[in-house]
């Protein structure tokens, strides 16, 4: 178990949440330290945007611990799994975090972390605002996955073994990225049939017409290659620590 790991998890999540934000495309609206105006008003019913912006870090941490860490069961989760579940809950809601956690448990803690992050990223890609926030989200989930895997491994083995395992993950992600970029080039060059791993996915899009299928699939491959580039970078950074 990772009892007492709240501060370590929050330090990572807090880095991604940042300070004041009021992005027009963000459904959360006005946010300070990752605390949305709606969440703030659950604790301070008449709270204003100005009061939210002036919230202390200690108050924000208390809200995080009560409303996210507690409900996700952070104190009872294994190292690494706690980070993956907690960050997902903060970013996408506790109900989704719980759902992804339940669907990901099984096998090693490393496998749980990777499955949870994959489910989370799949949900993000389904959102209309992915085109606006996708790059940042991809980097964030890659960072959480790499750190979660590193923490899970560190709880079970030696630093040297952890480093080698992280390097293998980085290499594997890099190889997948290159394969996806290459497949995109084959499809884009008009050789759809020459890309066997693309055939099944393309078949499901046949109703929109061959040209539309090619365009959509190239976009899909490029996004997937970018995601794996972010994963390779994140795992490589963790391996260097």
Task: For residue 33, give the CATH number of its domain.
Answer: 1.20.141.10
- Cα 130 to Cα 123: distance, rounded to the nearest angstrom: 10
Q: Supply the pLDDT for residue 108.
A: 97
**What's the pLDDT at 166?**
97
Q: How far apart are CA 171 and CA 240, in angstroms?
A: 14
> Is the same domain home to 102 and 119?
yes
pTM: 0.83
CB count in 10 Å sphere of residue 1? 13
In a shared domain, residues 106 and 186: no
Q: Are residues 137 and 223 in the same domain?
A: no
Among 156, 186, 217, the domain boundary falls at: 156
**Residues 203, 90 share a domain:** no
Q: Are residues 104 and 9 part of one domain?
A: yes
Q: Does residue 85 sit in the same domain as residue 168?
A: no
104 and 187 within one domain: no
Q: Do 145 and 228 share a domain, yes or no?
A: no
Of 137, 156, 175, which closes a domain? 156
List the structure tokens of 96: 């989704």
Is residue 169 domain-shared with residue 146, that is, in the same domain?
Answer: no
* Domain stop point among 115, 132, 156: 156
Work out how many domains the chain is built from and give that number: 2
Q: Which domain holds residue 5?
A: 1-156
226 shares a domain with 209? yes
Helix axes 130-154, 6-17, angle to 10 degrees: 160
Same domain, 63 and 181: no
**What is the three-class DSSP state of 31?**
strand
Say if residue 147 is in the same domain as residue 191.
no
Per-10-residue mean pLDDT of the chain, 241 residues long, equals 79 95 88 95 96 96 97 96 98 96 96 97 91 93 98 96 97 88 51 37 47 52 81 96 91
pLDDT of residue 25: 84
Give residue 178's pLDDT: 84
């Amino acid at each position: 178990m990772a009892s007492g790991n709240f501060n370590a998890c929050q330090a990572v999540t807090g880095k991604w949440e940042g300070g004041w934000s009021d992005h027009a495309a963000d459904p959360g609206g006005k946010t300070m330290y990752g605390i949305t105006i709606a969440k703030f008003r659950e604790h301070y019913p008449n709270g204003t945007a100005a009061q939210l912006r002036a919230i202390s870090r200690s108050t924000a941490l208390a809200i995080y611990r009560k409303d996210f860490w507690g409900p996700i069961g952070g104190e009872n989760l294994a190292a690494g799994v706690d980070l993956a579940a907690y960050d997902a809950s903060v970013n996408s809601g506790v109900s989704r975090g719980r759902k992804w956690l339940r669907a990901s448990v099984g096998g090693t803690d490393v496998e749980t972390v990777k499955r949870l992050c994959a489910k989370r990223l799949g949900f993000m890609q389904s959102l209309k605002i992915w085109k606006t926030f996708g790059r940042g989200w991809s980097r964030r989930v890659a960072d959480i996955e790499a750190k979660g895997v590193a923490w899970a491994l560190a709880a079970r083995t030696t630093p040297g073994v952890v480093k080698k395992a992280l390097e293998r993950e980085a290499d594997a992600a890099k190889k997948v990225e290159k394969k996806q970029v290459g497949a995109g080039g084959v499809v884009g060059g008009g050789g759809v049939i020459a890309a066997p791993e693309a055939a099944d996915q393309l078949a499901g899009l046949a109703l929109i017409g061959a040209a539309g299928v090619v365009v959509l699939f190239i976009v899909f491959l490029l996004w997937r290659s970018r995601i794996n580039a972010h994963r390779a970078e994140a795992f490589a950074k963790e391996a260097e620590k």
